[in-house]
Amino acid sequence: MTDVAGALPDGMPDWLRPVALAAASVRPEQLSGFLPPAEGGRAGAVLMLFGEGDAGPDVLLIERAHDMRSHAGQMAFPGGAVDPDDADAVSAALREAVEETGVDPAGVEVLATLPALFLPPSGFVVTPVLAWWRRPSPVRAVDPLEVASVHRVLLQHLLDPVNRLQVRHPSGYVGAAFRLGDLLVWGFTAGLLDRLLRLAGWEQPWDHAPPEDLPPELLSSASRTEVTG
């Protein structure tokens, strides 16, 4: 079960209610095949921030810098390791989002923490933090050494069957992915989005064609071990 941050807040848009309600009862095995070990693992957190702009409902994603030691060039939720000064996973997710995108945390309302999930290659135990962007603020790549770009990805694009596919990593891993123009969302981020949108009842039928091999440019030495979903 998730830890839900109280009752659904006043003013939350109706379109977001299915996601918040799904988060209230989701089990970890519904989100990933990789569950945390009984002991060990480094604590991490990511912010799943849903908002609404002029073009419609969206979710905040970052493109990680292409020369980082891990997860290089990947699309991801803002997030990172839980530091000793962080009170909890929520504090860590918000702090990382501020450091990476410049989002104003005063406009972010946390709805729930989802079950912690395991990333075997990196050894992180990651807690996804679901939030509503009550008062959207400007965002940008604060530190180009960590973040190449920041995107408010429209949910209609994620749900469009044309943008849905499966990808195959050289290790044999096969998982959900989303093609967004020149960007590809895959791995942990795509797997979490895929499952949560399905649990919310939003998924549209799409062609589960044989998986495509990941593009060579996404298989740098820095990202070859990032295989999870």
What's the pTM? 0.91
By mean pLDDT, which of 3-17, 27-41, 199-213 is the weakest?
3-17
Q: Reply yes or no on whether the pLDDT at 60 is more than 70.
A: yes
What integer is the mean pLDDT of 131-139?
A: 97
Question: Which residues touch 96 (CB under 8 Å, ≥6 apart)?
Answer: 45, 46, 47, 78, 79, 80
Question: Has residue 103 got a pLDDT over 50?
Answer: yes
Average pLDDT of span 2-29: 83
CB 199 within 8 A of CB 22: yes
Residue with more model confidence, 132 or 66 = 132
Q: Are 150 and 98 in contact (CB under 8 A)?
A: no
Reported confidence tier of residue 222, pLDDT bands at 50, 70, 90:
very low
Supply 138's token pair. 């400007």
> Mind listing the domains of the chain with CATH numbers?
3-153 (3.90.79.10)
84, 110 in Cβ contact below 8 A? no
Rounded CA separation 47/95 (Å): 10
Does the pLDDT of residue 39 top 50, yes or no?
A: yes
